[in-house]
Amino acid sequence: MVSEMTPTRRVLAAVLGGRVDYVPPANPLAQTTTELMQICNASWPKAHFDSKMMADLAAAPYEVCGVEAARPQFDISLEAETMGCKLDWDKTERPPVTSPAYTNPADITWSDNLEENGRIPVVLGAIDELRKRYDGMLPIIPGLTAPFTVAGHIAGVENMARWTKTDPEKAHSFIEAATDFVVAYGKLQAAYGAHILFLADPSASSNLISAETYREFVLPAHKRMAKEISCPQILHICGDASKLLPYIKQSGIDCFSFDTVPVWYCRQVMGNEMSILGSLDVIDLMPNGTPEQVYNRTRECILQGTDIIGTACGVSSGTPLENLRAYVRACKETPIPRYDDVEDLIRQIGIGIGKNMKENVLGGMKE
């Protein structure tokens, strides 16, 4: 019998492979919906520049819906901005990078005192505010843009993709410089009280790069993040990461947050070597589905063996609060399946897929 757990203890146990009393609804993806912003009087772009407002908005999914995580830093451009890129602040919610800042990795520079540079003090202030407000009870999981994506921002995504083929030494140099920066910033977030870091690496999606490119250029940066930052970490990669999974589980990072990979398949490949977080669809289910549909899908993810339930990407601004509450309720009401039950379910799904493939190939004919 597991004793009652705090949300922080529960999600730390889930990320690190320990026992939990229920699968935590600890979603570290962005949940800055219009309704939540209205409830906590937050607005764009002020929420990016005001520590108190950032902390209020980060905690709103917990305060209003019971989601057991607070995620300060709402955009993935802060790192590139601090390294010299300009952002488009006319965009609502998350400002994109307008153009690359460097063509030569030898020119990359940033302030020695990151603690006081750009918007970093705002994020650190929000982490500090959340830590004091909840006294460690609510897990603080700030966003941290991963090195390959930062390298694409400061050098140009298309340039980086081309250089991995035509000038791999240059590509490696940009990624190493970005890794230096991200490691330093991640250590600061941990020092200010982050319980877990959420590494967002959308440019490492298999929709953009091959598994071989991931292994050569991205995996070393992920390994370095795991080795040099003494704080549990969750890695998120968008799209269908099926072909990357065998390499991702070599990264040493504690947990993988996935998008369109089937839960049962992600569980099968990762085994017990890496926790998994996923995966509620944010294109149709979360904004347009009924609470019952969200509840049932959450339950399905748990039965297929996910360790933490979260969304496949940041939820859209129009996502109803009742759908967020339905997902939390399903986590608390669904018993954790036994390991053998998950294994049996994965086997049955595999047999079903194999049968369908055979029938399609044979056109329904018997052997």
- Judge whether 146 and 222 are in contact, CB under 8 Å: yes
pLDDT for residue 262 is more than 50: yes
Query: Residue 345 has what pLDDT?
Result: 80
Tell me the C-alpha to C-alpha distance, in Å, between residue 238 and each of 101, 183, 203, 279.
25, 21, 8, 11
Strand ranges inside 171-261, DSSP E: 197-200, 233-236, 255-257
pLDDT for residue 29 is more than 80: yes
How far apart CA 115 and CA 95 sit, in angstroms, is 21
Q: Where do the structural domains in the chain lie, given as residue ranges?
A: 7-336
Element (H, E) at 211: helix 211-213
Closest CA to 179 of 155, 145, 134: 145
Whole-model pTM: value is 0.94
Indicate the range of 27-36, 257-266, 340-349 predicted with least confidence. Answer: 340-349
Half-sphere exposure of 345 (CA within 13 A, CB side): 19
| 232: amino acid identity, one letter | P
CB atoms closer than 10 angstroms to residue 287: 16
- Could you report the per-residue pLDDT of 113-160, keeping only the tens digit for each? 999 999 999 999 999 999 999 999 999 999 999 999 999 999 999 999
Instruction: Tell me the CATH number of domain 7-336, given options 3.30.420.10, 3.20.20.210, 1.10.10.60, 3.40.50.620.
Output: 3.20.20.210
Closest CA to 59 of 146, 121, 137, 122: 137
Region 60-82: mean pLDDT is 97
- Stated length of the chain: 367
- Could you report the per-residue pLDDT of 213-222, keeping only the tens digit for each? 999 999 999 9
Region 66-79: mean pLDDT is 97
CB atoms closer than 10 angstroms to residue 247: 17
